[in-house]
Amino acid sequence: GAVVSQHPSRVICKSGTSVKIECRSLDFQATTMFWYRQFPKKSLMLMATSNEGSKATYEQGVEKDKFLINHASLTLSTLTVTSAHPEDSSFYICSARQVDSNQPQHFGDGTRLSIL
């Protein structure tokens, strides 16, 4: 079945560092990918919709200059957390769905980001 790969699975870094998270669709093409954030014991919250070849669409309250999204190909979207601070520590998850298909969305295994 469709697989979405997310890398890295865990990042620990100092405050002020920028961190890039990759999301790849391994056996299908995805014009649209989604980035979610999840805090402990909470549900997933959509951050932005990543569109191949165009600008991402951000949800209200999500800073686009803070969370840079690039969707350069049909199989790769990246989320860069710029100048990360402790409050950015969270579980970041991407999802994707095959183009022109009735297949459901599939999710990556998430990236746990810890900012010290």
Binding site for other proteins (CB under 8 A): 4, 6, 31-32, 34, 36, 43-46, 49, 91, 93, 95, 97-102, 104-110, 112
Inter-residue contact 24 to 75 (CB < 8 Å): yes
From the CB of 53, what's the least distance to other proteins, in Å? 14
Query: Which residue lies nearer to other proteins by CB, 44 or 62?
Result: 44
Q: Any bridge partners for residue 58, and if so which?
A: 48
Write down the least CB distance from residue 54 to other proteins, Å.
Answer: 12
15/39 with CB nearer other proteins? 39
CB 110 to other proteins: min, Å: 5
What the block records as the tokens of 26 is 């391994």
DSSP track, 38-78: E-TTS--EEEEEEETTS--EEPTT--TTTEEEEEEETTEEE
